Structure 1
Amino acid sequence: MTKKLHVISHTHWDFEWYFSAHESLIQLIYHLDEVMEALESGDVNNYYLDGQLSIVEDYLQACPEQRQRFCKLVKQGQLIIGPWYTQTDQLIIAGESIVRNLQLGIRIGESLGGCEMLGYVPDSFGQSIDMPKIYNGFGINKTVFWRGLSSDIYPFREGTWGCEDGSSVQFYNIKNGYYVGGQLIYADDAKSLFNQVESGCLSHDIALPLGGDQRFVDRNVKSRIAMFNQQLADENIPCQLIESSYKQLFSCLENQKLPNKQLMGEMIDGQVSKIHRSIYSSRADHKQLNDKLERRLTLELEPLMTLATCYGLKYKTELLNNIWRLLLRNHAHDSAGGCNTDKTNKIILERFEQVDQMSASARDYLIRKIAESQPTITDGCRLTLFNTLPFVRNQVQHISLATKTTDFVLHDLSGAIVDFEVLDQKKQNNGSIQRDSNDNDPNCDYYISTIVLRYPLPALGFTSLIINEIAPSSESKQVVDTNKIFIENDRYQVDFINGKFQLKDKQRGDVWFNFLSLIDGGDDGDTYDYSPPNNDWLLSLDFDHACIKRVGGKLTQSLIVSGNWLLPRNLKTREQRICDIVCSYQLELTLNNDDMPLQIKMSIDNQVDDHRIQLLIDSPLHTVSSTADTPFGFATRPHYQKQLKDWREQGWKEEPSGIYPMISYVNLKTDDMSLTLFSQGIKEYEVLDVDDAKPSGKIALTLFRCVGWLGKPDLLRRPGIASGQQYKYIATPDSQMHGLQTAVIGLRIDDEFAPSELTRICQSWSVNLPYYQDQSLNQFTNTLKYFVIHPLTQTVPQMDSLLRLACPELICSSLLEENGEIVIRLYNPSLTYVDNAGSVEFYRKVEVASEVDLNNLKIADLLTDNNALILGDFKPKQIRSFKIKLFN
């Protein structure tokens, strides 16, 4: 049977990389003019514009006069666009961000005349285990990808890829890269090209992508196809090239019954293409910022804005969309990876700063507007505590208060005393500033007190406490330092003994000696990959000469350890075994009187080049695999991958190291014990001291790594040509990460691995608890508090709750409003089928409810019971979304 090579004209347009998006835009403008000319003249039948709409948005903003022409070609099916906003990374970007990326891309594509519903990711550095169900949630049942699939997992290019919830997509793996069709233009060897691309194909219909990075449109494609077809005919090779599209290719594949076994799981192997399985720690500062902003948008600002609509504040959809646009531009695979030039990374950082300022300002405005619209307090002043998560929270909270005197008490609405502890107290002055602070008006003095308290907060709502100032007392509430060098709560005790930390698990009776340390090693890699030097020198960083301070009371206790480490300045001094530069550090361990994890905050003033610092937790567990969370679930991975023995001999593009990605936690478990490390932005881990099937409980989180080049050739872990720009060394001094680097980690021990409980704990631990004190002493609690605002015309109650998620096995990934209706997205993160999952209880009257897909389009009407949305059953790892309209 004659085989067909489907020649698919396209471009892969990196949003930014060793160039900035601003520089690339100029070429894009002229490129798209040429593409439209080629389509209109008939030189090219159709053209795929890389599946992302952010570049189209930029083009039409720069050339609005081209909109009608552009849309006409889209409607005619010649210019193929969508469905992404940006070509997202899938392994370190939160699931809700991936959903928003597709939502925004599809919406823009449809507004321009039509969106290609194809999961097209030609260059993302790996494929997440959750993508089939995400695609299916948008009605997408086909995907095309390049990187991550090894023949050990699946030997063919075509097949179906499934999820644990039963979702599946038909896939096509372009193993030779999205640029392989360039040989059609630049070479004259049809036989060689045919033999290359037909390898591993089950079908007689084979993709031949004709395109490349920022590549021009090939206007001679028809003549080149004719020449190749003649050459194949002359050599009696049963093959024919046709000008085609992915839609046409899949249509041909669907008409064939191809024998195949369904592919399951993630794809993160570097056999046929580089996967950069250590890019997760490049520009760790950017990854931490992204993590913070994802949490703020989905689990703080959007729920808070939804709550505010109950009191007459309009939901600002386009404001949020614009914030999301900025953040999603940083999720393109190169942007998220951090494998960019310094000038590009500066622009990425600027976008993060814009999102940070806009989202924080919106959150602060809303809590102020709601709080200042509550009834006036005649005795004392009000402290309004908010909870933006859809379940009750009762955890220790840090709060700063402004009072005229140093002494005050807190009451709840019933008049009961609320206990608190003072961590810090500083005198401030709110009079006109003077050159000499001694000239400040003493009548304008007041005090800022940092306190901790624990008070139950209603689900997605708020409550009030009353602050009353009292006469100064000789008994201070301030927590003082003690001579003890241990901290404890009901579950754990951490001791500092001879420069080492000991963890005692009071519930289990286990003692872990020297459970926490740091490792410093050289990094001869680049912004894509960690790679050890040929003659590395690993240093175990101890705390022998540290200064120890303990701060603590009943509610919170901290050990603060600070000192200096002497480290090798660079790879040269490391090779010479010379430590010649000082880096100061501070390690703060905190235990609260609640069920939150042991918190580990590590700050290092990095002055060293070309190195990697990992935080090591040495546990007594004996495990051969790890489990880490993914966008909407988890993945289990071996510590030691069997291909490590002979990956070079087998021709793998990079070493299959046990370095893995995570979203927010990693777990080691045995039959009777579970250790979880949570993070706020750390995205990379590995388990150490493993060899073949040797078990280990030593888990290392990469705090940061420092390198000075965009790409380098011939790395130990990645032989061959340089990644990125292979023809030029591009220095990236900013990626040496000089300055203060801070990481926050949580540690929790359980009897068993329970992903829903862990994810909920992680949300409680990492999502802020906003608050607002109604006072005028300090007009700078946020940037705009100095300026007056009107209270709402509708009085806000002293406490309120919009809804409560009464389904402990499910996780809420987002809660927002769309067109006057509340949209809640829930998922089951476990492999267990959940019968009768529970309900969402509303404290307002429900008018109508429905189930919707990931694009918020209705699937089915749902019944409610006494203003509770009955959720029914959830399949393993299933995502479901619901839309609810409340009576006004």
Structure 2
Amino acid sequence: MPKRSAHIISHTHWDREWYLPYEKHHVRLVQLIDTLLDKLDGDSEFKSFYLDGQTIILEDYLQVRPENLNRLQKHITAGRLIIGPWYILQDAFLTSGEANVRNMQIGHQDAYRYGEPAKIGYFPDTFGLVGQTPQLMRQAGITNAFFGRGVKPTGFNNTVSDGGYESSFSELIWEGPDGSKVLGILFANWYSNGNEVPVDEAGAKQFWERKLADAEKYASTGELLFMNGCDHQPVQLDLPEAIRTARELYPDTEFIHSNFPDYLKAIEGALDRSSLSTVHGELRSQRTDGWGTLVNTASARVYLKQMNQKGQAILEKAAEPLAALAHVLGRDYPHHLFTYAWKTLMQNHPHDSICGCSVDEVHREMVTRFEKSRHVAETIIEDSKKVIADEVDTSVFSTYGEAPLPLIVMNTSGWSRTGVISVELDAERLYLREGYTLEESSARMKAVDLSGRLLVDTEGREVACTVQDLGLLFGYDLPDDQFRQPYMCRRVRLTFEAQHVPALGLRSYAWVRQQGRTAAAAVATEPDDNQPDSLIRGDRILENDLLKVEIAEDGSFSLQDKTSGKIYKDLGVYENTGDIGNEYMYKQPEGEQALTTKGLAAEIAILEDTPYRAKVEIKHEWEIPASADAKLDEEQRALVYYPERQAQRSRDTVTLGLRTVLSLEREGRGLHIETKIDNTAKDHRVRALFPTDLDTAVHHVDSMFEIPQRDNEPAPEWENPSNTQHQQCFVDVSDGMAGLTVANLGLNEYEVLRDGRNTTAITLLRAVGELGDWGLFPTPEAQCPGEITMHMELIPHSGDGIESGAYAEAYQFQIPWTVCQTGVHSGTISPVYAPFKWEAPQLAFSSLKMNPDTKDLLLRWFNMSRVEAELTLESGLPCEYIYKTTILEEANPPSTSNSADGLTILAGPCEILTLGIHR
């Protein structure tokens, strides 16, 4: 037998916040790094320390200890402190693809300030891993992935169980859906298997007899990995002495105070790759009993997931593309603000944060961070859209006489878009600098005549709209070169359907006075008599050219796809069950029968009836159990493992208020659903049910840069009655001929029920009262009391979700419209405009941004399909050449397929494709 090596890597897994609030962990971090620096300064035998793969540790430490920058720098340069490649260790399934890319980009950017980032794909405690991880690693120049979850079972307090491994060894080949492969290193005995090594001979012998055997049980070579650390683990200062003891006890073993680069070099030299298992795609611990997957963190504190979805969307899908276009028009691209906004947002992305599985103080602080990041993004959007709107040639509206009010509708999605929007316009302003008293200003604005106006497009066609007079309002400008400029105004809100706004483009409209029209304009603005005046048929039917919705007395409804004739029945029933689990995992009380709103009388009323949209309100007053019974508190205090709890629901009841609004737009291909829950109960879960009655054993779901296929039935090893899973934008059940896509905003948990109907169940609310995991940490705010509003869209389709456009519709559902009022002026941009054009139905557009180093524009797509797809891109901007790059956006030479008209390039199956525009 060849001599074995024990690679001992010093580290700490640093959750910034978890069972303690952030600042309490922060104080401990400062103490830890102080101690570490002293040890590195004074002991050359203490070789190195791994800073958990996240550069934010340096940021957090230097916030308190800026005087120690040079000491940190010295040890990083010497290779004794190993940093990066991430900014933070993020949850994989609850953060967007672009957030993961920014995490890698900013982690590298920060690491380069000190030295080189470690090319280590580090996921020690990530709650499952997405299928595209190998491709993301390879595009970042990383050929490995170290991880603790996804292919093995774990139990209470992260104890490791035997069996259920998809891999023969702790080393494996992990292959993504695009074919990218990395060497996977599973922490088969957890990332603490070398923690607190004894120095004394007796203790060391007992320790190493067990630890060496445990590691050899799973290792494919004699290169054994021991992780000397754990969560918030202090530095083991006497590790050099402990290693000397081990060497004396086991002369046949080489004990090395190692690091990841050296360990990788050793393992690569010893591996027989042909003996390794290949694991494909997502790592979600499906070959387990199902009780320890931590999947229900996807529904803990849903309000956090909603805020995250909004924060990600406005940053990556609105602020970045708008700022990029504004830069083309001459405005500086605010790289510094984007870095700050992304960092602030990503500070909420570690698994114990975004997963909602920490103490209440942690999640209160998260709300503030979400708001801070959003406020920066909103400011960038406001500044950028004004730059763009000021360059739009709106002179076409000058023919409409006195005071036309142009507005620019901007579509920052990757597809042409039609939809109902609302915009607030100032019909007239009076600046206080003009010398009028407040009383005179108010009187003048109140006297503004709003009558006789209509909305028109650039072709002069009248656009049906609803006008709401918002009355007299105060406002102010903040000029770049003057003191603030307050004004009084008369404001209105226009609601209308914007049609066919081009991808990454804009379309112009104007609210004009009817009496000021020229004769030619008057003819052009005649209304279209072919358009229906209403989408409501009878009391409870909504219908457009594509869809028909019939609402039953209990508020459930049927949805007909008029293109295929397929009818989906019993949609929109709500389900309620008890939950005696915790923030990590759901547990329904034994023997409990779920409550539903099926047959529960509802109040139904028409809210909106216009030519472009109809809305119907459905109200339920639902009596449900008030909480779990008293036994739950007893079991929690006794630390009874949640699958073994016997608590039931209380006999006391409360009224749960449900308000549902169904909304159908004239050109809409989906039915919008807004649900508001007034949560008065505890220890329970609420889901919306959407039966499909489609015969299929699989379904598709949106994940990070991928639409993976998942089985409806769990693996044979699965024992948990619940089979809930993660989603991002949507889940789709289809039989190949018809399908129903359910899109959502920040509702990351779903289940395809094994009920004979292949029902898609979307978790709207999960209310629990404890953190869970390794002790008792009460979390009363995780009961989520009060009102919460959720948004979904049902998109029926024929055939494939990609080719039918259903997935494109679901992705657009995530993205807010941007609208800006402007004046009548000439400009360099036509009133209907898009800077790029492309053809590629299989590709989903992901981002447009600017690289801070090259100043090039970067566009990213991902191939939704498992087959090669062709992208043809045309740039309407001045462009020297186009090149292909990676997620790190390095400058590259021109693509060989460049031409005067643009570029045609092939995207491989499931490829994440990034193109640079060098101007």
Q: TM-score under structure 2 normalisation?
A: 0.85
Amino acid at match of 1:119: G
Matches within 5 A, 1:120-519: 120-150=122-152, 151-182=164-195, 184-185=197-198, 187-188=203-204, 189=206, 190-232=208-250, 239-256=253-270, 257-258=272-273, 259-269=275-285, 271=288, 274-372=292-390, 374=392, 377=398, 379=402, 380-401=404-425, 403=427, 404-414=449-459, 416-422=460-466, 425-426=468-469, 428-430=471-473, 446=490, 448-470=492-514, 484-499=539-554, 500-519=556-575
Q: Using a 3 Å threshold, how does the CA distance of structure 1 residues 803 and 631 change in structure 2: closer, same or farther?
A: same
Aligned-residue RMSD, C-alpha: 2.7
Alignment partner, residue 61 of structure 2: 59
Alignment partner, residue 803 of structure 1: 836
Name the SS for the 1:838 alignment partner.
strand
Indicate yes or no: 2:801 matched with 1:754. yes
State which of 572, 589, 603 in structure 2 corresponds to 1:533. 589
Contact 1:75 1:113 in 2 (8 A): yes
Contact 2:464 2:611 in 1 (8 A): no
Indicate yes or no: 2:864 matched with 1:823. no
Q: How far apart, in 2, do the equivalents of 1:254 and 1:30 lie?
A: 36
Query: Which runs of no fewer than 5 residues in structure 1 stay unpaired?
Result: 433-443, 648-654, 712-722, 776-790
Name the SS for the 1:199 alignment partner.
helix
* Cα deviation, residue 504, structure 1: 2.2
Runs of 4+ in structure 1 deviating by more than 6 angstroms, as ranges, are 477-482, 791-795
Name which of structure 1's ranges 284-293 and 26-35 shifts more when overlaid on structure 2. 26-35
* Cα deviation, residue 289, structure 1: 1.0
Query: Which runs of no fewer than 5 residues in structure 2 stay unpaired?
Result: 153-163, 428-448, 476-487, 517-526, 631-646
- Per-residue displacement from partner, 1:807-856 (whole Å, max 9, x unpaired)? 2221221101124311111211211122xx13221112311222212111
Alignment partner, residue 561 of structure 1: 618
Alignment partner, residue 760 of structure 2: 699
Q: How far apart, in 1, do the equivalents of 2:712 and 2:537 lie?
A: 42
- Per-residue displacement from partner, 1:203-254 (whole Å, max 9, x unpaired)? 1111000001111111211221232333345xxxx54432211212211121
Q: How far apart, in 2, do the equivalents of 1:702 and 1:431 lie?
A: 41
Indicate yes or no: 2:9 matched with 1:8. yes
Alignment partner, residue 685 of structure 1: 750
Alignment partner, residue 670 of structure 1: 735
* Cα deviation, residue 799, structure 1: 4.3
* Cα deviation, residue 879, structure 1: 1.1
Q: Using a 3 Å threshold, how does the CA distance of structure 1 residues 319 and 199 change in structure 2: closer, same or farther?
A: same
Alignment partner, residue 435 of structure 1: none
Indicate yes or no: 2:754 matched with 1:740. no
Q: Using a 3 Å threshold, how does the CA distance of structure 1 residues 463 and 512 change in structure 2: closer, same or farther?
A: closer
Alignment partner, residue 631 of structure 1: 704
Contact 2:417 2:501 in 1 (8 A): yes
Contact 1:522 1:611 in 2 (8 A): yes
Q: How far apart, in 2, do the equivalents of 1:149 and 1:792 lie?
A: 61
Q: How far apart, in 2, do the equivalents of 1:153 and 1:513 lie?
A: 39
Contact 2:685 2:766 in 1 (8 A): yes
Amino acid at match of 1:495: E
Name the SS for the 2:906 alignment partner.
coil
Q: Using a 3 Å threshold, how does the CA distance of structure 1 residues 579 and 596 change in structure 2: closer, same or farther?
A: farther
Name the SS for the 1:394 alignment partner.
strand
Name the SS for the 1:495 alignment partner.
strand
Q: How far apart, in 2, do the equivalents of 1:480 and 1:4 lie?
A: 73
Name the SS for the 1:34 alignment partner.
helix
Name the SS for the 1:338 alignment partner.
coil
* Cα deviation, residue 42, structure 1: 1.9
Amino acid at match of 2:821: Q
Name the SS for the 1:182 alignment partner.
coil
Amino acid at match of 2:54: Q
Q: How far apart, in 1, do the equivalents of 2:615 and 2:509 lie?
A: 26
Q: TM-score under structure 1 normalisation?
A: 0.88
Amino acid at match of 2:111: G
Q: Using a 3 Å threshold, how does the CA distance of structure 1 residues 201 and 609 change in structure 2: closer, same or farther?
A: same
* Cα deviation, residue 530, structure 1: 1.1
* Cα deviation, residue 16, structure 1: 1.2
Q: Using a 3 Å threshold, how does the CA distance of structure 1 residues 684 and 805 change in structure 2: closer, same or farther?
A: same
Name the SS for the 1:285 alignment partner.
helix
Q: Using a 3 Å threshold, how does the CA distance of structure 1 residues 656 and 829 change in structure 2: closer, same or farther?
A: farther
Q: How far apart, in 2, do the equivalents of 1:117 and 1:758 lie?
A: 38
Contact 1:307 1:461 in 2 (8 A): no
Amino acid at match of 2:276: N
Name which of structure 1's ranges 106-115 and 31-40 shifts more when overlaid on structure 2. 31-40
Indicate yes or no: 2:868 matched with 1:844. no
Q: Using a 3 Å threshold, how does the CA distance of structure 1 residues 577 and 883 change in structure 2: closer, same or farther?
A: same
Contact 2:356 2:583 in 1 (8 A): yes
Amino acid at match of 1:146: G
Name the SS for the 2:91 alignment partner.
coil
* Cα deviation, residue 581, structure 1: 1.2
Name the SS for the 1:365 alignment partner.
helix
Q: Using a 3 Å threshold, how does the CA distance of structure 1 residues 165 and 575 change in structure 2: closer, same or farther?
A: closer
Contact 1:566 1:579 in 2 (8 A): no
* Cα deviation, residue 31, structure 1: 1.2
Alignment partner, residue 88 of structure 2: 86
Q: How far apart, in 2, do the equivalents of 1:452 and 1:579 lie?
A: 47
Alignment partner, residue 35 of structure 1: 36
* Cα deviation, residue 506, structure 1: 2.0
Contact 1:6 1:205 in 2 (8 A): yes
Q: How far apart, in 2, do the equivalents of 1:77 and 1:277 lie?
A: 37
Q: How far apart, in 1, do the equivalents of 2:533 and 2:57 lie?
A: 55
* Cα deviation, residue 657, structure 1: 4.3
Q: Using a 3 Å threshold, how does the CA distance of structure 1 residues 528 and 82 change in structure 2: closer, same or farther?
A: same
Contact 1:597 1:747 in 2 (8 A): yes
Q: Using a 3 Å threshold, how does the CA distance of structure 1 residues 464 and 736 change in structure 2: closer, same or farther?
A: same
* Cα deviation, residue 656, structure 1: 8.4
- Per-residue displacement from partner, 1:404-435 (whole Å, max 9, x unpaired)? 42542122223x2232132x634522489xxx
Contact 1:605 1:739 in 2 (8 A): yes
* Cα deviation, residue 130, structure 1: 0.7
